[in-house]
């Protein structure tokens, strides 16, 4: 009832003139409150109410006195308990709009009074964070959160405790100037007309201590207001465009490099550039147009045409009769018969097992490399042309790492190959897959060369 009465009083109060939040202004607030008491106190959380009186020492700094009252009971005994926190604090008001709207942050002293079935007092620190939303030059709506920290409670009941609270209420600003004539604020920006250097600020604009919004200021005096000025530090006398930027401050492609230093002024949005404003060119040691990171023949002769792998198109590295530029299987062992793609013809001379040269994966993963996909497309074409073959894809690894990990990896890689072949026309009834891990080596695992041979995928005929 006390809270309701105070709120009604604020609503019915009429000021003699419009009052702005400024030095010398009083603010009276009535609020409803919900308090959550620290668990160590064993007091039931409850609703209450209170009020505060603030005096603005500066436009954004106020000295506040506040009192609240909550009638509740003990969680242990059920007996009635009342709590009356008395607070004194300094609060900072950060403007966010007209009618003295702002964000409130404050801290100070609290004395907690506990009565009825108990009787003790505790001293501590208090903090507040909240928002004041101006409804008119005089009235505002406030939402606050409070925290009361008591480090050494009276009587040593506990080591420390924190009570939390949420407050909602209405506030009234009153003028304290001599004669009570009020502080006029024609543009309702929270700065009185006598101090307002920009008396026609649009309603709702955030202003500085002089009452000016960004749209009304021109800090660098280039005739473009600060709100629209993309280059607020233009030197005196510089000619600027509509965005307030001189030619020396422009960045047309917005890559972070100003136009005077930008050697590539048309960089596409999102591209990473170097200090010259250009997209870095990947290293290409033999200058064949293929970056070193992807060049499998990094020493190609100057001027020699190369394939996408960076190798000369007329070169035949594996001597299988197919130039590297056309060879999908560039590492075919000498003496093997290959097709027009440079890949081994499967199951020639009654062979039962074929090692799929060139079928490689990303390190430690079951993801095929681009080169491996080309090889497998050729294998798929051969299987489709020979539907009588029933085959098993066998995955193998070296003995590096844990045996269980190697087995899982070999199974995953074999399944990847199986799935790729099926996606390229091989019937599911024609192909299966199985992983063997490091269990079936074809070379010693004691050398890097031997381990490389053991990391393989085989095509095994099952019929």
Q: Which residues of 429-438 are buried (b: 16+ CB within 10 A; e: fewer)?
A: ebbbbebbbb
The per-residue pLDDT for 226 is 80
pLDDT per residue as tens digits for the range 129-158 = 999 998 888 899 999 999 999 988 877 777
Q: What is the pLDDT of residues 30-59, one digit of tens each?
A: 999 999 999 999 999 999 999 999 999 988
DSSP 257: S
The pLDDT of 16-20, averaged and rounded, is: 41
Are 42 and 59 contacting, i.e. CB atoms less than 8 angstroms apart?
no
Dist CA 354 CA 352 (whole Å): 7
Query: In this predicted model, what pLDDT tens digit does every residue of 389-437 receive, in sequence order?
Result: 999 999 999 999 999 999 999 999 999 999 999 999 999 999 999 999 9
Instruction: For the chain, list the domains and their CATH numbers.
Output: 2-180 (2.40.160.20), 348-461 (3.30.1330.60)
DSSP state of 453: H
- Report the alpha-carbon distance of residue 322 to residue 339 in Å, rounded: 9
CA-CA distance, 152 to 160, in Å (whole number)? 6
Which of 5-9, 184-188, 218-222 has the largest mean confidence?
218-222
State how far the alpha carbon of 410 is from the alpha carbons of 71, 125, 371, 379, in Å: 72, 65, 19, 19
């Amino acid at each position: 009832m006390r809270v309701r009465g105070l709120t009604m009083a604020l609503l019915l109060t009429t000021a003699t003139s419009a009052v702005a939040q400024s030095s010398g202004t009083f603010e009276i607030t009535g609020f409803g409150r919900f308090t959550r008491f620290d668990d160590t106190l064993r007091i039931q959380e409850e609703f209450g109410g209170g009020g505060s009186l603030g005096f603005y020492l500066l436009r954004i700094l106020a000295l506040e006195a506040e009192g609240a009252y909550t009638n509740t009971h003990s969680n242990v005994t059920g007996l009635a308990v009342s709590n009356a926190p008395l607070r004194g604090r300094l609060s900072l008001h950060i403007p966010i709009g007209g009618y003295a709207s702002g964000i409130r942050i404050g801290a100070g002293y609290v004395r907690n009074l506990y009565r009825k079935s108990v009787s003790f007092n505790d001293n501590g620190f208090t903090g507040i964070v909240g928002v004041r939303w101006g409804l008119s030059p005089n009235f505002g709506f406030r939402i606050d959160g409070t925290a009361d920290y008591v480090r050494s409670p009276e009587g040593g009941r506990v080591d420390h405790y924190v009570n939390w609270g949420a407050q909602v209420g209405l506030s009234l600003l009153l003028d304290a100037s001599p004669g009570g004539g009020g502080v006029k604020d024609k543009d309702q920006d929270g700065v009185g007309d006598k101090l307002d250097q920009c008396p026609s600020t649009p309603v709702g604009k955030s202003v500085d201590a002089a009452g000016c919004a960004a749209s009304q200021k021109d800090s660098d005096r280039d005739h473009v207001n600060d709100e629209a000025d993309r280059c607020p530090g233009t030197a005196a006398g510089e000619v600027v465009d509509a965005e307030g930027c001189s030619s020396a401050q422009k960045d047309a492609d917005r890559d972070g490099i100003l136009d005077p230093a930008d050697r590539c002024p048309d960089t596409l949005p999102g591209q990473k550039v170097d200090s010259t404003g250009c997209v870095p060119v990947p290293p290409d040691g033999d200058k064949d147009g293929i970056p070193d990171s992807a060049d499998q023949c990094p020493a190609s002769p100057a001027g020699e045409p190369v394939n996408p792998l960076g190798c000369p198109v007329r070169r035949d590295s594996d001597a299988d009769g197919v130039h590297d530029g056309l060879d999908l299987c560039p590492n075919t062992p000498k003496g093997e018969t290959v097709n027009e793609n440079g890949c081994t013809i499967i199951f020639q001379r009654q062979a039962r097992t074929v090692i799929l040269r060139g079928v490689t994966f990303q390190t430690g993963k079951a993801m095929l490399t681009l080169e491996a996909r080309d090889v497998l497309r050729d294998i798929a074409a051969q299987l489709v042309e020979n539907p009588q073959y029933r085959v098993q894809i066998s995955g193998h690894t070296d003995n590096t790492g844990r045996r269980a990990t190697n087995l899982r990896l070999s199974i995953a890689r074999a399944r990847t190959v199986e799935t790729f072949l099926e996606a390229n026309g091989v019937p599911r009834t024609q192909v299966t897959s199985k992983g063997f891990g490091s269990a079936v080596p074809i070379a010693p695992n004691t050398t890097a060369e031997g381990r490389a041979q053991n990391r393989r995928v085989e095509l095994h005929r099952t019929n």
